């Protein structure tokens, strides 16, 4: 015997129209020639719902006596005996009267399905077991009747009967859901607009998860390996390094940009367990993932890049966030392409974000305008070029030169000095000029193999040679300083643009500003503290109070604490911009909270106005009758009989 099919109509709250939709579907199926019966339906006195049940066969309920009270339940045996093609069973989470065959109605439904009967049923999101505690936090109401998630997820078809929260409130106010005496209490408690909005989102997200599970089963059954990006899933790769917090926060911001975005963090470890990782750092990052609403995963694989991409495909990810390599150029040249390059090649249609961080060499840090124009590496490379290139050039000219080639020799050494100047700047170039000048005098200017010059013209040539070398190196040094200033200006512009964009993004503005400021100024840690001492945001290492630089934000509403570096004058100017934007972001947050409070007050005022309108309507008629009675007594005076006067007084008394 085939097992029956289960169809569940899921609603966010009572009154959205689940039972109405179930009966309407039953009438449609009956019109198509199907055998449809009402096993049990609760109309709750709603006339429109009761009207939909007309014309459908109804299985009489079973009367049950419990503690001296007559109750009725679905007659399971009668439905099984009737054995219709389709049974309509309302309120799947209902608890049966003690003494029934099964404790829960969903167990009755399981028996109907086992008997080959298709079932259409209804359930509200607050009755789903895994969501029970969440609904309690939203509404403050504890739901005693629940149905296991597995029962609902096992349904062949799940549909959300959706209704806009305000439309449900309007339906409730019109008396289409509850009797008049329950309307005001329902509107001001369970059916508040915020509650209904949260319950609606909860129902839609739960169904989205179920649809996602069905999609995964389908892809697995059909061997589909490509990712179907039906929703944004952001996978963040963690190595256990200190950059993990930066990557997680960046991934969380990417996921938050789309409704229903999901954050997943993954750490790849080797099968032999030899790859170094920091368990303490991973534990902290796992806690951060969970606080950001994401999930933490750990996979095993010898090839990190392949394991990472395979995991991303297995969860149908749309975005992959990895940190930029901490290897230098020399390490990259010696060991070949890094994990990032391999991931990009293997990712296919998954977008890869390579996020920079402080541990990657401080590329987010603003270039310093003080100190040498060229880096220490370039200066050292310039000295090495002079020391290695000079002897090699000398050997070449000794092997190929002649007594008349002094001009070519000078130009060759001049070229070497220019190359050293381009590589290492002024001091390596001066060193190369002096060294090559001494070499020219010793090896090529008569008398050779001595540091003397017999021809004054040769002395002038050597002097001009050194001067030209110094001038070239000065030009190179100035060009490097101007290039550094240009990079600094570009970095400042990028930082200001990022700050402005962070403020416009709203709720994530404060953490984004804190993170960007720490990276830009090359600080070890940054912390924003409210006036009451609570920490509003933090980034990087813990801030030590004895070494922190404090900067007030706004009118003393918060303090920005900086740790791990000194700021020059230009950076102080940029810091003022950051502080101003932080103050604006905090003010925006305060305004948003005020607006939310105002919205709640407006909702309360609306309920109060409706209540006063109803009360005034109820009082208008008796007051009018009392006024009319007293007016008649005053106008008629002694012309009224005792009976008429007594009747008017009684009318006024009853009306008041």
SS3 447: coil
Q: Which pLDDT band, with edges at 50, 70 and 90, does 276 fall under?
A: very low
Residues 40 and 151 in one domain: yes
Other beta carbons within 10 Å of 245 = 19
Estimate the crossing angle of helix 406-424 against helix 376-400, to 10 degrees.
170
213 found inside a domain: yes
CB half-sphere exposure, 479, CA atoms < 13 A: 12
pLDDT at 247 (0 to 100): 85
34 and 168 together in one domain: yes
- The residue that leads in pLDDT, 436 or 167, is 167
Q: Within 10 Å of residue 574's Cβ, how many Cβ atoms?
A: 19
Query: What's residue 80's pLDDT?
Result: 92
Angle between helices 569-636 and 456-504 (to 10 degrees): 10
Q: What pLDDT sits at residue 330?
A: 45
- Domain with residue 322: its CATH number is 3.40.50.620
- Angstrom distance (rounded) from CA 641 to CA 652: 17
- Tokens 């607050």: give the residue: 126
User: Angle formed by the axes of helices 193-221 and 132-139, to 10°?
Assistant: 160
Tell the residue number behind the tokens 């329902």, with chain if given: 186
- How are the residues of the chain apportioned to helix, strand and coil, as percentages rounded to the nearest 5? 55, 15, 30
Averaged pLDDT, 158-170: 87
CA distance 325 to 455: 58
Structural domain ending residue among the three candidates 466, 484, 502? 484
Q: What is the pLDDT, as a whole number, of residue 35?
A: 93
The helix or strand, by DSSP H or E, that contains position 646, with its residue range, turns out to be helix 642-655
Q: How confident is the model at residue 630 (pLDDT cuts 50, 70, 90)?
A: low
Q: Note whether residue 278 is domain-resident.
A: yes
Rounded CA-CA distance 386/420 in Å is 6
87: helix, coil or strand? strand
The DSSP code sequence of 311-371 is HHHHTT-SEEEEEPP---HHHHHHH-S-HHHHHHHH-TTSEEEEE--GGGT-TTSPPPSSS
The Cα 79–Cα 606 span in angstroms is 47
Last-in-domain residue among 169, 195, 221: 221
Question: In this predicted model, which residue has the larger pLDDT, 227 or 593?
Answer: 593
Instruction: Say if residue 217 is in the same domain as residue 102.
Output: yes
Looking at the structure, tell me whether residues 255 and 337 fall in a common domain: yes
Tell me the per-residue pLDDT of 209-237, one tens digit each, with 9 for 90 and over: 665 555 555 555 555 555 545 567 889 98
User: What mean pLDDT is predicted for residues 183-198?
Assistant: 82
- Distance set, CA 452 to CA 43, 446, 511, 562 (Å): 117, 8, 69, 61
Query: Are residue 65 and residue 177 in the same domain, yes or no?
Result: yes
Among 455, 484, 513, give the residue marking a domain's end.
Answer: 484
pLDDT at 274: 45
Alpha-carbon radius of gyration of the chain: 41
Across the strands, what pairs with 234? Answer: 263, 319
* Residue 332: pLDDT over 60: no
Task: List own/partner pairs for 138-146 with CB under 8 A and 24 or more apart.
Answer: 138/195, 138/198, 138/199, 138/202, 139/190, 139/195, 139/199, 140/189, 141/190, 144/95, 145/93, 145/94, 145/95, 146/93
Residue 269 · residue 311 · CB < 8 Å: no
561 inside domain: no
pLDDT in tens, 118-149: 999 999 988 888 887 788 888 888 888 889 88
pLDDT of 44-97, one tens digit each? 888 888 888 888 899 998 888 767 677 888 999 999 999 999 999 999 998 888
Alpha-carbon distance 58 to 630, whole Å?
57
Mean pLDDT of 627-653: 66
Same domain, 84 and 174: yes
Structural domain containing residue 42: 6-221
319 closest CA partner among 227, 220, 434: 227
Q: Quick check: is 207 in a domain?
A: yes
Query: What integer pLDDT is reported at residue 175 of this predicted model?
Result: 82
Q: Are residues 111 and 50 in the same domain?
A: yes
The answer to whether position 534 is within a domain reads no
Each residue of 479-524: pLDDT tens digit? 777 777 777 677 666 666 665 655 555 445 677 677 777 766 767 7
SS3 string of 255-301? HHCCCCCEEEEEEEECCCCCCCCCHHHHHHHHHHHHHCCCEEEEEEC
- Residue 320 and residue 396 in one domain: no
> Taking 50 as the threshold, does the pLDDT of residue 298 lie above it?
yes
Whole-model pTM: value is: 0.42
DSSP state of 401: -
- The answer to whether residue 624 is domain-embedded is no
- Which of the residue ranges 105-119, 161-175, 268-282, 319-333 has the most confident prediction, judged by mean pLDDT? 105-119
Count Cβ atoms within 10 A of the Cβ of residue 258 and give its class: 0-12 exposed, 13-18 middle, 19 or more buried.
middle
pLDDT for residue 623? 63
Verify that 79 and 171 share a domain, yes or no.
Answer: yes
Sign, CA dihedral 451-454-459-461, equals negative
- The CA-to-CA distance between both ends of the chain, in Å, stands at 71
In this structure, is residue 116 part of a structural domain?
yes
Task: For residue 497, tell me if it sits in a domain.
Answer: no
Structural domains of the chain, count? 3
Does 325 share its domain with 421?
no
* Residue of 451 and 424 predicted with greater confidence: 424
Residues 339 and 415 in one domain: no
Same domain, 128 and 151: yes
For residues 266 and 261, what is the distance between their CA atoms, to the nearest angstrom? 17
Predicted confidence at residue 86, as pLDDT, reads 93
Q: Which residue has the tokens 């929703």?
A: 231
Q: Give residue 402's pLDDT.
A: 65
- Torsion, Cα of 446, 448, 452, 453 (10° steps): 20
In tens, the pLDDT along 431-453 reads 887 788 778 777 776 677 776 66
- Greater pLDDT, 546 or 487: 487
Q: What is the mean pLDDT of residues 271-279?
A: 54
Location of structure tokens 């015997």: 1
- Name the band, by pLDDT with cuts 50, 70 and 90, for residue 555: confident
Contact 321, 357 (CB under 8 A): no
- Tell the residue number behind the tokens 């404790």, with chain if given: 103
Between CA 650 and CA 647 the distance in angstroms is 5
- Residue 161, domain CATH: 3.40.50.300
pLDDT of residue 534: 78
Average pLDDT for residues 571-579, to the nearest whole number? 73
Higher pLDDT, 509 or 562: 562
Mean pLDDT for all residues in the chain: 76
């Amino acid at each position: 015997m085939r097992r029956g099919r289960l169809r569940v109509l899921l609603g966010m709250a009572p009154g959205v129209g689940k039972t109405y939709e179930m009966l309407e579907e039953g009438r449609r199926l009956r019109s198509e020639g199907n055998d449809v019966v009402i096993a049990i339906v609760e109309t709750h006195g709603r006339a429109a719902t009761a009207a939909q049940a007309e014309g459908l066969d109804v299985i009489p309920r079973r009367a049950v006596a419990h503690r001296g009270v007559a109750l009725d339940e679905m007659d399971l045996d009668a439905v099984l005996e009737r054995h219709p093609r389709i049974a309509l069973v309302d309120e799947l989470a209902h608890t049966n009267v003690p003494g029934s065959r099964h404790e829960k109605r969903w167990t009755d439904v399981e028996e109907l399905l086992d008997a080959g009967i298709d079932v259409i049923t209804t359930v509200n999101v607050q009755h789903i077991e895994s969501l029970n505690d969440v609904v309690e936090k939203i509404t403050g109401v504890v739901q005693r009747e629940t149905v296991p998630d597995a029962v609902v997820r096992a349904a062949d078809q799940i549909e959300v009967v959706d209704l806009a929260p305000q439309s449900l409130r309007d339906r409730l106010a019109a008396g289409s859901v509850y009797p008049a005496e329950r309307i005001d209490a329902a509107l001001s408690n369970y059916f508040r607009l915020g509650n209904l909005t949260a319950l609606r989102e909860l129902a839609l997200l739960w169904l989205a998860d179920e649809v996602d599970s069905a999609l995964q089963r389908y892809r697995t059954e059909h061997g589909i390996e490509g990712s179907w990006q039906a929703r944004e899933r952001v996978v963040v790769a963690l190595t256990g390094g200190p950059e993990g917090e930066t990557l997680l926060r960046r991934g969380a911001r990417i996921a938050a940009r789309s409704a229903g975005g999901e954050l997943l963090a993954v750490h790849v470890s080797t099968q032999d367990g030899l790859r170094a990782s920091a368990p303490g750092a991973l534990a902290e990052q796992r806690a951060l993932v969970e606080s950001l609403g994401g999930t933490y995963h750990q996979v095993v694989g010898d090839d990190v890049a392949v394991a990472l991409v395979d995991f991303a495909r297995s969860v149908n990810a749309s975005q992959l966030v990895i940190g930029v390599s901490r290897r230098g150029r020399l390490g990259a040249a010696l060991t070949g392409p890094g994990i990032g390059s391999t991931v990009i090649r293997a990712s296919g249609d998954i977008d890869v974000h390579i996020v920079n961080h402080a541990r990657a060499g401080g590329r987010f840090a603003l270039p310093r305008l003080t100190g040498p124009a060229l880096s220490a590496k370039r200066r050292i490379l310039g000295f090495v070029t002079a020391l290695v290139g000079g002897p090699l050039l000398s050997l070449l000219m000794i092997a190929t030169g002649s007594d008349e080639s002094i001009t070519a020799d000078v130009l060759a050494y001049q070229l070497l000095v220019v190359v050293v100047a381009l590589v290492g700047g002024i001091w390596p170039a001066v060193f190369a000029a002096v060294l090559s000048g001494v070499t020219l005098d010793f090896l090529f200017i008569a008398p050779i193999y001595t540091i003397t010059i017999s021809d004054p013209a040769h002395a002038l040539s050597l002097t001009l040679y050194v001067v030209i070398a110094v001038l070239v190196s000065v030009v190179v040094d100035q060009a490097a300083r101007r290039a550094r200033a240009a990079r600094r200006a570009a970095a400042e512009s990028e930082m200001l643009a990022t700050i402005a964009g962070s403020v416009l993004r709203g709720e994530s503005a404060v953490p984004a500003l804190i993170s960007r400021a720490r990276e830009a100024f090359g600080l070890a840690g940054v912390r924003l503290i409210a006036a009451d001492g609570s920490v509003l945001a933090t980034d990087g290492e813990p801030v030590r109070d004895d070494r922190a630089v404090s900067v007030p934000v706004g009118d003393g509403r918060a303090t920005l604490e900086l740790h791990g570096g000194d700021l020059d004058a230009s950076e102080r100017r940029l810091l003022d911009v950051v502080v101003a934007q932080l103050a604006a972001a905090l003010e925006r947050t305060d305004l948003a909270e005020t607006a939310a409070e105002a919205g709640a007050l407006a909702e309360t005022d609306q309920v109060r106005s409706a209540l006063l309108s109803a009360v005034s309507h109820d009082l208008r008629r008796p007051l009018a009758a009392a006024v009319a009675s007293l007016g008649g007594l005053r106008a008629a005076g002694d012309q009224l009989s005792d009976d008429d006067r007594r009747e008017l007084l009684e009318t006024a008394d009853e009306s008041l």
